Chains A and B, each alone.
Chain A
Amino acid sequence: MITIENVSKQVENKWLLNNVSFKVDEGACIGLIGPNGAGKSTLMKLLSGLEEPTSGTVKVLGKEAGKWSVKKLAQKVSVLTQDGLAPYPMTVYDAVLMGRYPHLSFFQKEGKEDYKRVENVLSLTGLESFRDQMLDTLSGGERQRVAIAKAMVQEPKVLLLDEPTSYLDIGYQVNVLNLVKEWQRRDQLTVLMVLHDLNLAAQYCDQLILLNNGEVIKQGTSEDIIEAETLQTVYQATPEIIRHPKSNIPQILL
């Protein structure tokens, strides 16, 4: 699904990414973790075609991300950022309907099928009661749910999430990630998400990729990555590692 091969990215004499390579298989849920400035968001920008790598190739569904037309890429890849949707005076329904845009030609209007998909997604995401509310009257967490609904309506093969939960309270963090996880399982979606919260990353991702200074430090399951020595070298902090009493997944305490 996603192949990153020897990718480097330089901006004004600074190497943001340095010879990064990894693959993401279809239906996988991969977490990108690492300290600030590790290159996580840069990688997301390359994958969504917003920027081009200085060297190396970033392939999405077998074709370089920058070679897809913006519209074609949006048919395959949905992106959720931490800022989400702007608080614009537009109804939730209209915002979600915009997810159909990449599937319509310039002169084409949304049809019955599109409306049906929106209805379906509104019920899946529990947004039915919000449908006529304006985005600028919603809280950050509610807007992020609308952004997920919009991404779902887009019907992508790949979902990229760039710190989707950073501004949200714990209730919405879990709510947003549960929605993504259910969707991933239901549609065999390929998910790549940048998360700052290592505990959430360990709980929600099948595999983790740890980045630091633009390089991949380690790749593996949460068992391999969430361990004291690795985290200490990368984050310069000394966390305690414990086991989640229910899922037995490694978690950190500061």
Chain B
Amino acid sequence: MNNRLILSITIPVLMITLLFVMSLAITVGAANINWQTVWQIVIYELPYIHQWIDSSWSDSTETIVLDIRMPRVILAAIVGAALALAGAIYQGVLRNPLADPFILGVSSGASFGAALVFAFGLQVVWLGKFTLPVVAFMFGFGTLMVVYFLARIGQKVRMETIILAGVVVQAFIGACLSLVMALANEQLQTIVFWMMGSLTLTDWSYNQIVLPIILICALIALFYSRELNMLGLGEEVAHHSGVSVERTRFYLLILASIMTGAAVSVSGAIGFVGLVVPHIIRLIVGADYRLILPLSIFGGAIFLVGADTLARVLMAPRELPLGIITAFLGAPFFAYLLRRTKREYF
């Protein structure tokens, strides 16, 4: 089956699934709202159409749907898509099946930045409530730069070296993070919860900031799928076929890390999405990045919206950290797929 055919079938199916999971996610919670009302409220917001809809719902229902649950569900979709896509890119660039969006220290750096903000109550006046995401993002991205330039020898960066550099820098930042946590006292719990990932602190403004960043990076990254395939055939083969290997890898690592940084800065370090989703997609459609990249976007979004919904309802009214749910769901499913697949697939 050719790629165009596969995408023309899978993308609409995944899109419908995503919309279904998202609307389901909006219906459940402390106040149960049926899904017709959810869709009516959403469609009512569209221009020209609202005159056809009878707005019989209460104001509080509308607030819950539009201002509380929807921004959170959409943010879950964006974060999930970004982490899965970034994971797929990292796995392709590093040619390492264990690679995930956090392997080069982006999340450790971001966590350290966030911990500093929490522990010392940092607040940059002109950033206001965005101090936390901005500081987390800067620290995450800064960490990647340190790792990259540490691994660079002459003009070249070897992939084994960059993974090792990632391990070293993460170990160091881990120590700094532990130190901050040891000094934090009262804020310790906040830091720990943030590190396990959560989408509790959400309103539309986070979406407005994160969406354009991730969207632009994702669009550019999609154009690199051909290059990722060529890197799969071997570094030298890619060079001889006309790919500027070093430059391509650098751009891809930057794109993936910006997406990861943006996602982590608003949601904390949600593990497993970026590792498992691209692998699941790969097990189903094969190793072609022209399929893996676009399908990971949808796969990640669906996975995280589902996981976040479970995090909200499983032990309601208490909310579970999202990272726990993603690992609980992802690990067994991944193990099942691994056992079922006889062929080597990476």
- Give the B-binding residues of A (Cβ under 8 A): 48-50, 69-71, 73-75, 77-79, 81, 83-86, 88-90, 94-95, 98-99, 101-102, 106-107, 135-136, 147, 150, 154
Contacts and interface: CB of A to CB of B under 8 A. Distances in A.
Contacts of B229: 90, 94, 98
B345 interface: yes
Nearest to B241: A101
B241 A98 contact: yes
Nearest to B240: A79
Nearest to A73: B242
B240 A78 contact: yes
Nearest to B290: A94
Contact of A89 (B226, B236, B287): B287
Name which of A89, A99, A150 has the most chain B CB atoms within 10 A of its CB: A89
Contacts of A48: 239-240
A89 B292 CA distance: 13
Contacts of A84: 237
Contacts of B241: 74, 98-99, 101-102, 150, 154
B304 to A, nearest CB: 27
B331 to A, nearest CB: 24
A51 to B, nearest CB: 11
Interface string B197-236: 0000000000000000000000000010010011011101
A101 B288 contact: no
Nearest to A75: B242
Report whether over half of chain B's contact residues are helix, strand or loop; otherwise say mixed: loop
B335 to A, nearest CB: 21
B59 interface: no
B232 A90 contact: yes
Contact of B233 (A74, A85, A107, A154): A85
A81 B236 contact: yes
A192 to B, nearest CB: 14
Nearest to A110: B226
B233 A90 contact: yes
A64 B241 CA distance: 18
B244 A85 contact: no
Nearest to B234: A86
Nearest to B226: A101
A95 to B, nearest CB: 7
Interface residues of B, number: 23
Which are the 4 A-B pairs with shortest beta-carbon distances? A74-B242, A102-B242, A79-B240, A71-B242
Contact of A83 (B232, B234, B243, B287): B234
A75 B230 CA distance: 16
B218 to A, nearest CB: 16
28 contacts: A48-B239, A48-B240, A49-B239, A70-B243, A71-B243, A73-B242, A74-B240, A81-B236, A81-B240, A83-B236, A85-B233, A85-B234, A86-B237, A90-B229, A90-B233, A90-B286, A94-B288, A95-B233, A98-B241, A101-B226, A101-B230, A101-B241, A101-B243, A102-B242, A106-B223, A147-B237, A150-B241, A154-B241
B186 interface: no
B242 A70 contact: yes
B242 A88 contact: no
Contacts of A107: 223
Contacts of B223: 106-107
B242 A86 contact: no
B54 interface: no
Contacts of B236: 50, 79, 81, 83
Contacts of B232: 86, 88, 90
Contacts of B344: 89, 136
Name which of B232, B236, B237 has the most chain A CB atoms within 10 A of its CB: B237
B230 to A, nearest CB: 6
Contacts of A81: 236-237, 240
Contacts of A50: 236, 239
Name which of A49, A75, A83, A90 has the most chain B CB atoms within 10 A of its CB: A90
Name which of A70, A77, A84, A106 has the most chain B CB atoms within 10 A of its CB: A70
Contacts of A74: 240-242
A80 to B, nearest CB: 8
A84 B240 CA distance: 11
A81 B233 CA distance: 12
A98 B230 contact: yes
A100 B92 CA distance: 21
Contacts of A94: 229, 288
Contacts of A90: 229, 232-233, 286-288
